[in-house]
Amino acid sequence: MILAMNLCAWAAAAVLALWMLWDMLKTNRAYSEAYLTSSAEGEIIDAEVGETAARR
């Protein structure tokens, strides 16, 4: 029983790691480094049009 729980925990960790890697690669391809690092006091700034992101 403990072995099965251990294997499930490792499998869940591997799935989460692969998901985070896939999301990182997808994000890096979709947005430039300048866009991802552009922020002013917590507000994301659209580097292409110079407008702040929509506020909710």
Q: What is the pLDDT of residues 5-40, one digit of tens each?
A: 999 999 999 999 999 999 999 998 988 887 777 766
How many C-beta neighbours within 10 Å does residue 16 have? 10
Full-model pTM: 0.58
Q: What is the pLDDT at residue 2? A: 95
Distances 27 to 9, 31, 34, 35, 54 between C-alpha atoms, Å:
27, 6, 13, 11, 19
Q: What is the pLDDT at residue 29? A: 92
